[in-house]
Chains A and B, each alone.
Chain A
Amino acid sequence: MNPLLESVQNFTFLYPFVMAFVWIAGGLLFYWRRESFLAGPDTAPDLPSTPSMSVLVPCYNEEALVAETIGELDKLRYPDFEIIAINDGSRDRTGERLEALRLQYPRLRVVHQAQNRGKALALRTGALVARSEFLVCIDGDAILAPYSLHWLMRELLLRGNVGAVTGNPRIRNRATLLGRLQVGEFSSIVGLIKRAQMVYGRVFTVSGVVCAFRKRALADVGYWDPRQQTEDIDITWALQLGGWRVRYAPNALCWILMPETLAGLWKQRVRWAVGGAQVFYKNAPRLFRPAGFAMWGILADYLLSVLWALSFAGLCALWVLQISTGPEIDFGLPGPLPTLAGLLMSGVFLLQSVVSLGIDRRIEPGVLRQFIWLIWYPLAYWMLSAATSVVGFLQVTFGAKRRAGTWVSPDRGVGS
C-alpha cells in the first residue's frame, strides 16, 4: 500500500483509540476530584447566599412546548428568580401563548422582538432587560430540574473569575433507537469529554440548552455574536480567551428533546459542525497571543477531530471506488481502517461507554441499561459524525455558509 495512505489509515485508527483512553482518564479524575462527594441532583447544595437569577428563554415558533417549559420553570426551588421569555418574531402563536402564561405566572416577563433576529440577539436583548447579574439560558422546549439553579449558582459563587457554567443536558425521548443512542452519546461522548476537558481547565463549549453566565463577563466580551451559527461555542471561546473561566455543573440537569429522524439529526449536526468551524476561523489569530495558549489543548483536539473526519471520509471514498471498479483501480485498501482495527475501536468505545454510564449512574440510576443500544454507535454514528464534520468544515472553509445565525428548529422526537 502507498505509505501515505497507510499513514492516513493508521491515523484514522489511532486518533479515536488514543483519545478514548485520555477521555476515560480525564472523566474518572474529574469524578474523583470534583463530583464523587456531591449530593444528588435532587437536593440543594449549601450556598453562602442566594442572589437573584434571571432565566432567559429565547423562543421561536414554540407554541406547542413553551407552556410546559414555563410551567416547569415556575416550580423551581430557587428562592429568588425571574423568567424572561424572548419571543423572537415567531410566526406561530408563541406570542399569544406567552401573554396568556404571563397572567398565570407572575414571575414571567415577556419580550417580543419586532423582527426575527436569531438566538444570539434574543439572548442579548434578554440580558439587557434582566434584573439580575446572573443569567441562566435554556431553550424554549427544555425542562430544568428543580435544583438546577442552585447547582449553577454554586459554581458561580465559588470563584470570582467564573464567567459561565455549563449544565448537564439529559435526553427525554427514548422511544426510538435514535433517541436511545443519543442518551448514550450525551453520556459517553458529551458528558465524558466535558469532564475530561474540565480537568485541564478549558472547555470546547457550554451546552447552549442549559448554561449560566455572569453578566459582567458577557459585557466584557461583547455578549453573543449574531454572526455565529452556534452562539454557545462562540461565547465559550470568547469568555475563555478574555480570561474568564467556564465550569461544568454535572448536577444542573436539563431535560431536552432531540431529533429522532435521520434528516433532523443530520441538520442539527451539520449546524454544530459549521458553528465549530466558524468559531475556529474567528478565533485562530487570537490563539497565538499569551492569553490563547491555554486554549491550545482544545484547539488541538478540535483540529485533530476535523482531520480525522476528513481522513475517514477520504478513505471511505477511496475504498468504495476500489470495490466498485475492476482490478485496474486498486489502492491496496482492505477497508477504510486497518485490518481488525474496527473491532478494536468498537471495543475501546464500549469500554469508554461503560465508564461514562457508570459515572452517570450517580445522576441517573438505571442509565446503564442504555448500554445495550450503544453497539450501533461505532457502526452508524461515527459515519454520520465524520460526514457532518466534513460538510460543515468545508462549507465554512469555502465561504458558502458564513451567514448569520438563524433559528433552526429540529424535530423534537417522534411524539412532536
Chain B
Amino acid sequence: MKPTGRPLLLTNATEHVPAWMRLRDSVLTLLLWFGCGYMWLQLFPEIERWFEARGREDLSFELPAIVGIVQQGMLLVAGLLVFYLSWALRTWRQTEADLLRPAPEALAPGEEVRAYGLPAADLPALRAASSFTIETGPDGQIGRWQEGRGQIPPLARP
C-alpha cells in the first residue's frame, strides 16, 4: 500500500505507470476518435441528400428513421424545458424568500439524547472526552461507554 505523502493528483508520472500502458490507452483512444469521426462524417452526405430531397419536394427520397425521432426529441426537449424553466422560476422566488428565514435554534441536550436512549446527564462527559469506546446497538441506541480505547467491561458506566 502507498499510504501518505502522495501528491494531490495521482498521474502517470506520480504513479509510475508503465510506458506500454500509457501507449495502449493513447492509441486505443485515438483509434476510437478516428472511428467515430469517420462514422460521423458518413452522416453528412446522408443529411445533405435529405435536405436536397426536401428542397425538390422529392417524396420518393426515404427519410432516415432517425430524423423523425430527432424531430420528436427536439419537440420533447422544448416542452420539457418550458416546464423546467417555469418550475425553476418558482424555485428561485422561493429561495430568495428563504434568505429572510431565521436560523433555527440549536438542539437542547435533552432533545439530542432522546434518539440515543442515553441519560442527558452523560452528555457533558461524553463531549469532554477526547477518546472513548462506545457500545451502539443495531438500532443506534447507546448501551454503554467508557473513556479510552479498549473492551467495555460488562455493565461499566462512568
User: Residues of A with Cβ closer than 8 Å to B?
Assistant: 10, 13-14, 17-18, 21-22, 25-26, 29, 33, 64-65, 67-68, 71, 95, 99, 102, 108-115, 117, 121, 124-125, 128-131, 133, 143, 157-162, 172-177, 179, 199-201, 214-216, 219, 222-223, 226, 245, 255, 257, 297, 338-341, 343-344, 346-347, 372-373, 375-376, 379, 404, 413-416
Contacts and interface: CB of A to CB of B under 8 A. Distances in A.
Contacts of A200: 84, 87-88, 91
B135 A375 contact: no
A71 to B, nearest CB: 7
A109 B132 CA distance: 9
B130 A173 contact: no
A375 B106 contact: no
B25 interface: yes
A99 B130 CA distance: 10
Contacts of A95: 149
Nearest to B104: A216
A157 B111 CA distance: 22
A160 B98 contact: yes
Interface residues of B, number: 76
Contacts, number: 211
A10 B99 contact: no
A175 B10 CA distance: 6
B134 A416 contact: no
Contacts of B70: 17, 344
A109 B130 CA distance: 5
B115 A18 contact: no
B85 to A, nearest CB: 8
Contacts of B142: 125, 128
A310 to B, nearest CB: 20
Interface in B106-133: 106-107, 111-113, 115-116, 118, 123, 126-127, 129-133
A215 B104 CA distance: 10
Most chain B CB neighbours (cut-off 10 Å) among A109, A175, A379:
A175
B130 A110 contact: yes
